[in-house]
Amino acid sequence: MNRHLFIFGLGFSARVIARAAQDRGWRVSGTTRSGQGDGLDGITIHAFDRDHPLPAQALDGVTHVLSSVPPDHDGDPVLDMAGVALRQLAPAWVGYLSTTGVYGDCQGDWVDEDAPLRPDLDRSRRRVLAEQAWQGSGLPVQVFRLAGIYGPGRSAIDTVRQGRARRIIKPDQVFSRIHVDDIAQVVLASIERPHPGRVYNLCDDDCAPPQDVITHACALLGVEPPPEVEWEQAQASLSPMALSFYADNKRVRNDRIKQELGVRLRYPSYRQGLAAILSA
């Protein structure tokens, strides 16, 4: 079978997925806002956003579709602009990259894919609506809820090296994370074992306080960690985006990707993930 993956939104995670698919012999094409894509050799790229509709021929021969485009205030741009074309295409598999932010603040409790969706941030509320739109689109959609994404160029190693690392202590705060290579692994595993309508949490096995990750990155680099800063003191200096990351507190379960998709995480903890980034 000549398999052709089309990816809406070739951002950080989607680029790794694209390269992994190419390594397996897939034809890959997709979109960026500009229509340009440095480092995306061999991938046909189209400009796409609400002001730049997808060319009619862009989906010719496409068999599988992935969207990593976030919703905006008007809804989901991909469904709004290309939903009719996608339904006419009738792809064998469709994936949508969402976020574990849809669960909202769970005060440190565990959540799985059947937990109620109680988002408390505007961008997470939009994600819930986007998930519902994809699930009601008539397409064979699998939804992937991603925890905090890290990888080469975007990790605690990089933050420490750039002098931007802080160890903010918010009592009982934990985050779940996922290495970008494991995102690619799960998405490709889903393509091999499709379950239309299914939702998957993508995270590793080691939810941990953010300051622990910084401390470990410093140890790997052989540098002194930055001083601890109490949450009450730190809040005034954090951007609204940074504050929002501390608004949700939960532990995310990942049993389903292991049991249904047969995934064995390459980086089950940030410890292995950061070590690999450093060695690379």
The verdict on residue 38 lying in a domain is yes
- The mean pLDDT of 93-108, rounded to a whole number, is 97
User: How many domains does the chain fold into?
Assistant: 1
Give the CATH number, domain containing residue 77: 3.40.50.720
Q: Report the candidate in 57, 55, 56, 47 with the shortest Cα–Cα distance to residue 8.
A: 47
- The mean pLDDT of 188-214, rounded to a whole number, is 98
- The boundaries of the domain holding residue 129 are 4-149+179-203+253-265
At 56, the pLDDT band (50, 70, 90 cuts) reads confident
Position 37 pLDDT exceeds 90:
no
For every residue of the chain, which 3-state class applies, written as one string? Answer: CCCEEEEECCCHHHHHHHHHHHHCCCEEEEEECCCCCCCCCCCEEEECECCECCCHHHHCCCCEEEECCCCECCECHHHHHHHHHHHHHCCCEEEEEEEHHHHCCCCCCEECCCCCCCCCCHHHHHHHHHHHHHHCCCCCEEEEEECEEEECCECHHHHHHCCCCCEEECCCCCECEEEHHHHHHHHHHHHHCCCCCCEEEECCCCCECHHHHHHHHHHHHCCCCCCEEEHHHHHHHCCHHHHHHCCCCCEECCHHHHHHHCCCCCCCCHHHHHHHHHHC
The verdict on residue 247 lying in a domain is no
- Residue 134, pLDDT score: 98
The verdict on residue 230 lying in a domain is no
- Residue 38, pLDDT score: 85
Is pTM beyond 0.85 here? Answer: yes
Q: How far is CA 237 from the centre of its chain?
A: 27
Max CA distance (Å), the chain: 58
Kindly report the average pLDDT of the chain as a whole number: 97
The verdict on residue 93 lying in a domain is yes
Q: What is the pLDDT of residues 121-180, one digit of tens each?
A: 999 999 999 999 999 999 999 999 999 999 999 999 999 999 999 999 999 999 999 999
The verdict on residue 102 lying in a domain is yes
The verdict on residue 222 lying in a domain is no
- The mean pLDDT of 103-124, rounded to a whole number, is 97
- Residue 1, pLDDT score: 67
- Residue 168, pLDDT score: 97
Q: What is the pLDDT of residues 248-276, one digit of tens each?
A: 999 999 999 999 999 999 999 999 999 99
Position 4 pLDDT exceeds 80:
yes
- The mean pLDDT of 102-115, rounded to a whole number, is 97
- The mean pLDDT of 56-67, rounded to a whole number, is 96
The verdict on residue 228 lying in a domain is no
- Residue 39, pLDDT score: 84
The verdict on residue 220 lying in a domain is no
% of the chain exceeding 70 in pLDDT? 100
